Amino acid sequence: MAESEPTEHIDAIGLLCPEPVMLLHAAVRRLNPGEELTLRATDPSTRRDITHFCQFLGHDLLLSEQQGEQFFFHIRKAVS
């Protein structure tokens, strides 16, 4: 797990695409640059979608791992 403490936690368990990414997008808007959040999901497409979201918008995907049937992400908002 990354060393810094996330500002926000998103529970997208049971939600299907595009809902986890929509929740992530809304949460990132609330964060200040450099702040972090975590997201848990069960939809396998989140692995691809969250990675692309971070790459496209310049956010740091600090951790992406599967824990059983759940997917866990730790993201830092781009500093600009």
Q: What is the pLDDT of residues 18-69, one digit of tens each?
A: 999 999 999 999 999 999 999 999 999 999 999 999 999 999 999 999 999 9
Give the pTM: 0.92
Kindly list the domain boundaries of the chain, sorted by start residue.
8-76
At 4, the pLDDT band (50, 70, 90 cuts) reads confident
Tokens 């640059």, located at residue: 33
Question: What is the spatial distance between Cα 47 and Cα 80, in angstroms, rounded to a whole number?
Answer: 24
User: Count of alpha carbons within 13 Å of 50, Cβ hemisphere only?
Assistant: 32
Task: Report the phi/psi class of residue 3: left, alpha or beta, with left for phi > 0 and alpha for psi in -120 to 50.
Answer: alpha
Provide the CATH number for the domain formed by 8-76 in this structure. Answer: 3.30.110.40
> Which of 7, 8, 15, 17 is labelled catalytic?
17
- Based on the residue annotation, tell me whether 17 is a catalytic residue of this protein: yes
